[in-house]
């Protein structure tokens, strides 16, 4: 498994939202953008390196399921479902789930907690 490098808060802000500092300052103004980035740089940040606990490939349904173990010994799932037009990825944002889909392990024990930003 490839481990993600440590990142600065600016890179994290750029990654999910796609905003550069210049674009952010155009949206919220130079002073607010500077204050936001200054505050972000004060905070330590790291990405958790998740370990794959289990990988299952279901050839009959073109599905791959990955179970990751978190530092608190809880587990989350990511599932890739291959389709003719590409694929679908289901990514956990919570430990457990309150929906209770019958095909998903995540909901068996109900909702436990949200993932942290670094997870």
In this structure, how many other beta carbons lie within 10 angstroms of the beta carbon of residue 76? Answer: 23
Mean pLDDT of 49-66: 88
pLDDT in tens, 86-105: 888 888 888 988 887 776 76
* Domain coordinates in residue numbering, the chain: 9-42, 51-114
Q: Is the pTM of this model over 0.75?
A: no
The tokens describing 29, both together, are 């103004």
Beta strand residue intervals within 1-119, DSSP E: 51-58, 63-69, 75-83, 86-91, 94-95, 113-114
> How many residues does this entry show for the chain?
119
Q: Are strands 63-69 and 75-83 parallel, antiparallel or unpaired?
A: antiparallel
pLDDT in tens, 1-28: 344 455 555 554 554 445 677 777 788 8
Evaluate if residue 73 carries a pLDDT over 50: yes
């Amino acid at each position: 498994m490839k481990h993600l490098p440590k990142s600065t808060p600016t890179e994290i802000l750029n990654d999910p939202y796609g905003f550069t500092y210049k674009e952010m300052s155009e949206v919220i103004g130079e002073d607010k953008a500077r204050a936001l980035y200054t505050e972000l740089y004060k905070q330590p940040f790291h990405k958790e390196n998740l370990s794959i606990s289990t990988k299952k490939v279901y050839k009959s349904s073109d599905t791959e399921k990955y179970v990751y173990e978190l530092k608190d010994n809880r587990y989350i799932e990511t599932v890739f479902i291959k389709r003719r037009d590409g694929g679908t990825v289901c990514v956990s944002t919570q430990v457990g789930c309150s929906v209770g889909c019958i095909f998903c392990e995540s909901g068996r024990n109900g909702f436990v907690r949200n993932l942290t930003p670094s997870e």
